[in-house]
Structure 1
Amino acid sequence: MSVQPIVEILEKLEKVHKSLLELALKKTEVVKKGDMVELYQILKNEQSHVAAIETIEKQRQVMVTDYLKSKGIDFSDIPTVADVIDVANSENEREQLQQVRSRLVQVVDELKSQNELNQKLIFQSLQFVNMSLELVRPPETQINYTGKEVKGPNVQPKKSIFDSQA
């Protein structure tokens, strides 16, 4: 059995991850602009990418499992591409697998970094919105006609100068 189908499925994963990285880069610009409609569209598109990645990943796991079983190798955990590299037939196959694996890992690392940046930008945007709301919201304490602070809506004010006995 050849490793070529595994290489091809890894290249598909790489392609979809690169597309997801492009969306993450686009999302950064959209968050900076504050365009909520476009951000919503990007999020929907990201969800479809993630679904595609999950499907391809399941195919990869099946292919790797089948390859290792064909080699008579037992495993207890989910088999990995590194397991296939260890038992590949030729140096050429090992090199192909190693190259596509390293490219995929690089894209995933870039995607992770970009998503962390986007998360920080969104958090900062939320902080700005909360700060703006705090500036617009009326203060919690009120001043009554005596000039003393009254806290809470049901607190009775203390005697004022108009309540003096005659």
Structure 2
Amino acid sequence: MALTTLIELLERLDEVHIQMLDLAATKKQAIMENKIEMLIQIINKESKQMKTIEQLEEERAQAIHAFLQGAGIRSNLKLNLSELSRLVFDLDDKQRLLHIQKKLAGTLQQLKEANALNQQLIQQSLSYIDFSIESMSYYSETEATYHHPAEKSGGVQRSGLFDTRA
């Protein structure tokens, strides 16, 4: 019974992570299209999903503990699913457990890759914004206003990265 509960929890965890993967794809589109309001909504949805994941993780830990208690193990071992599957003797249950483990691991890997891509896109956007600000502030305010040529000081100071006059 505890193993069935554990497998159901793992399946629910996989479903929530798939929803997070969908949100990551939507977030990618929002980043590329510079839709800040949409990005904020996605982040709020991700936050709610993370709370659900935390709750399911707690339930998963309790289900593992109950399974270990049912198997006669009184210790609070921190076993991963591969180690736990060695304690399952029913072949069908073991296959279901290993299948959901593989499926969840694949979903988590896809989510990790999607988040890394979104992080790169955000970093590129920030770099572009920095470059744009730097380009706009290339000339100091003193250079932007008119001064009589006789009043100009000898040296001109620039705050930009590139000297296009050279």
TM category (shorter chain) comes to 0.7 to 0.9
Aligned Cα RMSD in Å?
Answer: 2.1
The answer on whether the counterparts of 1:10 and 1:60 sit within 8 Å (CA) in structure 2 is yes
1:19-63 Cα shifts (integer Å, max 9, x gaps) = 000000110011000000000000000000011001001100110
1:100 partner amino acid: I
1:91 partner amino acid: L
The answer on whether the counterparts of 1:141 and 1:150 sit within 8 Å (CA) in structure 2 is no
TM-score by length of 2: 0.83
- Once the two structures are TM-superposed, the CA of residue 73 in structure 1 deviates from its matched residue by 2.4
Give the Cα–Cα distance (whole angstroms) in 1 for the partners of residues 132 and 63 of structure 2. Answer: 53
- Compared CA separation, residues 95 and 151, structure 1 to 2 (3 A): same
Q: In the alignment, which residue of structure 2 is the partner of 1:107?
A: 107
Moved more, 112-121 or 65-74: 65-74
Q: Alignment partner of 1:149: what SS? A: coil
Q: In the alignment, which residue of structure 2 is the partner of 1:131?
A: 131
Give the Cα–Cα distance (whole angstroms) in 2 for the partners of residues 133 and 57 of structure 1. Answer: 44
> Percent identity at matched positions?
25
2:126 partner amino acid: L
The answer on whether the counterparts of 2:2 and 2:64 sit within 8 Å (CA) in structure 1 is no
Report which of the two structures shows the higher radius of gyration computed on alpha carbons.
1
Q: In the alignment, which residue of structure 1 is the partner of 2:41?
A: 41
5+ residue gaps, structure 2, are: 159-166
5+ residue gaps, structure 1, are: 153-166
Q: In the alignment, which residue of structure 2 is the partner of 1:98?
A: 98
Give the Cα–Cα distance (whole angstroms) in 2 for the partners of residues 6 and 57 of structure 1. Answer: 10
TM-score by length of 1: 0.83
The answer on whether the counterparts of 1:142 and 1:150 sit within 8 Å (CA) in structure 2 is no
The answer on whether the counterparts of 2:2 and 2:63 sit within 8 Å (CA) in structure 1 is no
Matches within 5 A, 1:1-166: 1-75=1-75, 77-139=77-139, 145-149=151-155
